[in-house]
Structure 1
Amino acid sequence: MSQYESSKHADCYSFLNSIIEYIQNSKVQKITYEDLKEVAIDFLQKGHSQDQSERYETLTQLIFKFMDGKASESVLIFYLKRQFAMEENTLDEIINKLKLVISKDALVDQSITFADNFSYPKVSVIITTYNRKEYLLQAINSILAQDYPNIEIITIDDNSSDGTDLLMEEHFKNHPRIIYIRKEQNCGPGTNRREAFKAYADGEYTLFLDDDDYLIDPNYISKTVNFHMNHPEISFVAANVFLEYSLKDLLKISDLGLSEVVNKYDYLLNFERPGFPKPLSTLTTLFKRDSLIEMGILNMNMVNDASIYMRALLVGDAGFIDSIVGVYRIHGNNITFNLSKEFIVENLDEKTIVKNMAIEQFGFNKKDMDKWFNYTVHNTVSYYLVNSARNAEDFRYMFNWTKENCPFIYNDLRNTYRFTLLKKRLLRFPLVRKLRGK
Structure 2
Amino acid sequence: MQPLVSVIIPTYNRASQIGETIDSIVSQSYDNWECLVVDDQSEDYTEELLSFYSSRNSKIKYLLRDSAPKGASRCRNIGLEKAQGEFCIFLDSDDILLQSCIEDRIKRIEADRNKDFWIFPMYVNTYEKELQEVKIPNKKSYLQDFLKCKIYWQTMCTLWDRNFVRSIKGFKESYPRLNDPEIHIRAMIHSQLNYSVFWESNPDSVYRPAFSKIGFDIARKYFQSLMLFIPDISSELKENLLPHLLPCLKGYLKDYLRESLQYNSRQNNLVLFKVFYKNNILTFYQFLTLYVQYYTLLILDVSGKKVRKKMNNLLEK
TM-score bracket, normalised by the shorter chain, equals 0.7 to 0.9
Partner of 2:187: 312
Find the counterpart in structure 2 of residue 398 from structure 1.
Answer: 272
- C-alpha RMSD over aligned residues: 2.9
What's the TM-score once normalised by structure 1's chain length?
0.60
The counterpart of 1:370, out of the listed 217, 238, 243, is 243
User: Match for 2:133: what amino acid?
Assistant: S
Number of residue pairs aligned between Structure 1 and Structure 2? 291
CA shift for structure 1 position 300: 6.7
Counterpart contact for 1:243–1:251, Cα < 8 Å: no
Q: Look up the match of 1:297.
A: 170
Q: 1:396 to 1:334 in 2, by over 3 A?
A: closer
| Deviation string, structure 1 residues 348-370 (Cα, Å, up to 9, x no partner) | 1331243145x2xxxxxx3xx22
Higher RCO (C-alpha 8 Å, min separation 6): 2
Q: Which residue number in structure 1 is paired with residue 201 of structure 2? A: 322
Q: How does 1:212-227 map to 2 (within 5 A)?
A: 212-216=94-98, 218-227=99-108
1:272 positional shift: 6.0
Q: Partner of 2:7: helix, strand, or coil?
A: strand
Deviation of 1:414 after TM superposition, in Å, equals 3.8
**Which of 229, 238, 260 in structure 2 is aligned with 1:388?**
260
Select which of 53, 57, 64 maps to 1:175.
Answer: 57
Q: Which runs of 5+ in 1 are unaligned?
A: 1-118, 360-365, 430-438
Aligned to 1:193, which of 76, 81, 90? 76
Decide whether the 8 Å contact of 1:374 with 1:408 is kept in 2.
yes
Amino acid at match of 1:269: Q
Report SS of the residue matched to 1:330: coil
Q: 1:407–1:298: structure 2 CA closer, same or farther, 3 Å change rule?
A: closer
Residues 1:310 and 1:122: Cα distance change in structure 2 (over 3 Å): same
Larger radius of gyration: 1
Distance 1:145 1:407, change over 3 A: closer
CA spacing shift, 1:270–1:281, aligned 2, 3 Å: closer
**Structure 1 position 211 matched with structure 2 position 93:** yes
- Runs (4 or more) in structure 1 with deviation over 4 Å come to 298-303, 333-337, 421-425
Decide which of 147, 151, 154 is 1:281's aligned counterpart: 154
- Larger deviation: 345-354 or 335-344? 335-344
Q: Residue in 2 aligned with 1:132? A: 14
| Aligned-partner residue type, residue 184 of structure 2 | Y
**TM value normalised by structure 2:** 0.80
Distance 1:300 1:317, change over 3 A: farther
Query: In 2, distance between residues paired with 1:344 and 1:299?
Result: 13
Displacement, 1:296? 3.5
Shift of 1:209: 0.2
Query: What is the aligned partner in structure 2 of residue 255 from structure 1?
Result: 134
- Report the equivalent of 2:308: none
The structural deviation recorded for 1:178 is: 0.9
3-state SS, counterpart of residue 146 of structure 2? coil
After superposition, what is the alpha-carbon deviation per residue over 1:252-280, rounded to whole angstroms, capped at 9, x for unaligned? 32233344xx64xx222343669xx5343
1:162 aligns with 2:35: no
Q: Would the alpha carbon gap of residues 131 and 333 (structure 1) be closer, same or farther in structure 2, given more than 3 Å must change?
A: closer
Cα distance, 1:279–1:128 mapped onto 2, change above 3 Å: farther
The residue aligned with 1:331 is 210
Q: CA deviation at 1:243?
A: 1.5
Q: 1:323 to 1:181 in 2, by over 3 A?
A: same
Structure 2 unpaired stretches of 5+: 305-317
Q: Which residue number corresponds to residue 123 of structure 2?
A: 242
CA deviations over 1:343-396 (Å, ceiling 9, x no partner): 211111331243145x2xxxxxx3xx22212211x2222322443232221122
- Partner AA of 1:318 in structure 2: S
Q: In the aligned structure 1, how far is the partner of 2:117 from the partner of 2:298?
A: 42
* Offset from partner CA, 1:116-143 (integer Å, 9 cap, x none): xxx1111011101111112211111111
Q: Distance in 2 between matches of 1:418 and 1:387?
A: 20
User: Cα 1:406–1:121, aligned 2, differ >3 Å: closer, same or farther?
Assistant: same
Specify the code of the residue in structure 2 equivalent to 1:319. Answer: V
What residue is the counterpart of 1:80 in the other structure? none
